[in-house]
Structure 1
Amino acid sequence: MLDVQDLRVSFRVRGGEVQAVRGVSFQVNKGEAVAIVGESGCGKSVTAQTIMRLIPSPPSLIKGGSIRFMGDDLLKKTEKEMQRIRGKEIGMIFQDPMTSLNPTMTIGRQITEGLIKHQNMTKQAANRRAVEMLQLVGIPNAEARIKQYPHEFSGGMRQRAMIAIALACNPALLIADEPTTALDVTIQAQILRLMKDLQQNLGTSIILITHDLGVVADMCDKVIVMYAGKVVETGTKHEIFKNPKHPYTKGLLRSVPRLDQPKDEPLIPIFGTPPDLIKPPAGCGFCARCDDAMRICAERDADNVSLSDTHQVRCWLTHPLAQEVAR
């Protein structure tokens, strides 16, 4: 359904050019849930917004690559053509619903706007569909709620309303950019369960951008690990959690609390900071923070190595000449 190949996106700033996305490639199949994980600033949200063609230009600049959705390259579409795709074919749940929802429009109007534009519905039919969508995402008393404004909703209800807007036209692909970041744990669980049910019932493909590896383990089929604007490891969730190969992926997993570890055992953080992407390193971006770094890691970035049909990693430790790392 979605095929991203060698995507490169930069931002022009006063100090130079920030290479936010540096050759990202991945695929999403029909009905599949794919997670993109990595620390802040690694290029996850820029990748998602580039798929939707929402990053402003200037200062952004798409330097190369392709984004094929249903066989068509989205990077070659005009803005008018993208307006026909956004909401209808690809929906997006943004990170902060309070700043993403229009405070001057009722929730109902924000849902019906896409239905009237993309589905050619009458206002009455669109209102009925808006009520159905709010009921679908678990908002009670939907007939009254569609007349209310975003500030009259709680944080969890605003996020549900965002999901209703994104799913109103039954898009084939849903991009969720950290949809549970601002919510408490109970509401997080409800939102994720809702998205999982919608995926199973409607066959919607999902790209989930998140920091929470627990969410990934519960919800996603495939995991893409990004660091410093590049994909460093890709695999099924079982391959990533049971047999991680890149030192950064291992570091992410070590820094997460586990129920099978003693309570007094400290978490192991990843020390250091990500590289400056105005002047990215010549070699591996994780080299300066990696305990297993070799001289070649600083000089040249590794090629992508396929460990199986579904598991790929970009690391010199997987090279046949590399020594086995002993613990």
Structure 2
Amino acid sequence: MSTETLLSIRDLSVNFKVYGGVVHAVRHLNLEVKRGETLAIVGESGCGKSVTCQAIMGLVQKPSGQIASGEIIFDGQDLLSLSKKKQREIQGNRIAMIFQDPMTALNPILTIGEQLTEGVRKHKGLSKEAAYAKAVEMLSLVGIAEAKSRLNQYPHQFSGGMRQRIVIAMALMCDPDLLIADEPTTALDVTIQAQVLELFARIQEKTGVAIILITHDLGVVAKIADHIAVMYAGQCVEYGNRQDIFYRASHPYTQGLLASVPRLDMSEDSLKPIEGYPPDLFAPPQGCGFFSRCQKKLLVCERYLPDLHTMDNEHKVLCWLQDSRAQCSL
């Protein structure tokens, strides 16, 4: 696997102006994705996972949505500083996204062939014949049999698992360098989930594409992620490789997520849900966002935001418990 950084998110903040005020959805986020690797972004609903990827894809809609600060560096270029035309040459072409619900991502009145070939004809300038040949190749890659004859069918003629494969094939049509998958297995049963995850691994091995996987399912993370970013209240509270997160988790929120996942070797009474609710992002807390729910909180946690503490080469934690200056416990 290459160690070269493909995507670097630096100090990214995204706000949304709504009737009740301003929602601070993403707050000073820093992440990076290396070529050919899979980065999983995990966390509860509303933690900023999808908004982060929408910012990468240029899908934060003005005037309500606003990127308040930061840079999104893709292959040496800051996407936020490019013109709309230059952005479109990258987003949807070199960066592709798989949306959460394949049925709503597909147009019900257009054939699969029409939808698969639209993007590659626009971005790559392929003829209709060449685009359809590419579509057959991609459908075969994602495991759809009799691909050529199925191009003339409509989304309702496919099962949920096959629609998910079609959406993946659509994202791969332009041979992207980065593939963003937003909860790609949520609506699928366990057997199909496993097939989709194996498909991602096979695609990555064959094409070398880097993947950002948004999920709340730690089982998915354990299977395919190289690195994991744990998000809470719009911030990345812990980052590391699989071993760091699953065996050396240091942030109380990450520890809480792991403790709340059922396992075959534990009883139902052993599950420990995280009590309480995430903070109101209309008025983000002055200190640590997890303070009100944390069982290990210190006096300093409520008043001041912790520094990012490096546990080792890659493992980083946003928590006062790792700071020697924090001595006074509540």
TM-score normalised according to structure 1 size: 0.97
Match of 2:168 in 1: 163
Match of 1:306 in 2: 310
1:68 has 2:73 as partner: yes
The count of residues paired between Structure 1 and Structure 2 equals 324
TM-score normalised according to structure 2 size: 0.96
8 Å contact from structure 2 (residues 307, 319) kept in 1: yes
- Cα distance in 2 for partners of 1:57, 1:149 equals 33
- Cα distance in 2 for partners of 1:311, 1:166 equals 31
Match of 1:228 in 2: 233
1:197 has 2:202 as partner: yes
Match of 1:26 in 2: 31
Match of 1:115 in 2: 120
Please list every run of 5 or more consecutive structure 1 residues that lacks an aligned counterpart in the other structure: none
Q: 1:238 aligns with which of 231, 234, 243?
A: 243
Please list every run of 5 or more consecutive structure 2 residues that lacks an aligned counterpart in the other structure: 1-5
Secondary structure (helix, strand or coil) at the match of 1:39 reads coil
Q: 2:87 aligns with which of 79, 82, 94?
A: 82
Q: 1:260 aligns with which of 260, 265, 289?
A: 265
8 Å contact from structure 2 (residues 300, 328) kept in 1: no
- Cα distance in 1 for partners of 2:65, 2:232 equals 19
Match of 2:149 in 1: 144
Match of 2:16 in 1: 11
1:295 has 2:294 as partner: no
Q: Which residue identity does 1:32 align to in structure 2?
A: E
Q: Which residue identity does 1:270 align to in structure 2?
A: I
Displacement, 1:141? 1.6
Match of 1:130 in 2: 135
RMSD, aligned CA: 1.3
Displacement, 1:80? 1.8
Displacement, 1:83? 1.7
8 Å contact from structure 2 (residues 102, 164) kept in 1: yes
Displacement, 1:176? 0.4
- Cα distance in 1 for partners of 2:61, 2:152 equals 32
Q: 2:276 aligns with which of 272, 278, 292?
A: 272
- Cα distance in 2 for partners of 1:276, 1:209 equals 22
Secondary structure (helix, strand or coil) at the match of 1:129 reads helix
8 Å contact from structure 2 (residues 9, 30) kept in 1: yes
Displacement, 1:322? 4.0
Q: 2:324 aligns with which of 313, 320, 324?
A: 320
Spell out, residue by residue over 1:209-245, the C-alpha distance to the aligned partner (whole angstroms, 9 max, x if none). 0011011011010000000000000000100000100
1:187 has 2:195 as partner: no
Question: Which deviates more from structure 2 when the two are superposed, residues 17-26 or residues 125-134?
Answer: 125-134
Displacement, 1:324? 11
Question: Which deviates more from structure 2 when the two are superposed, residues 241-250 or residues 263-272?
Answer: 263-272
- Cα distance in 2 for partners of 1:82, 1:98 equals 27
8 Å contact from structure 2 (residues 57, 92) kept in 1: no
Identity percentage of aligned residues: 56
Q: 2:42 aligns with which of 37, 42, 45?
A: 37
Question: Which deviates more from structure 2 when the two are superposed, residues 178-187 or residues 78-87?
Answer: 78-87
Spell out, residue by residue over 1:240-291, the C-alpha distance to the aligned partner (whole angstroms, 9 max, x if none). 0001000000000000012333x35431000100000001110111000001
Q: Which residue identity does 1:21 align to in structure 2?
A: V
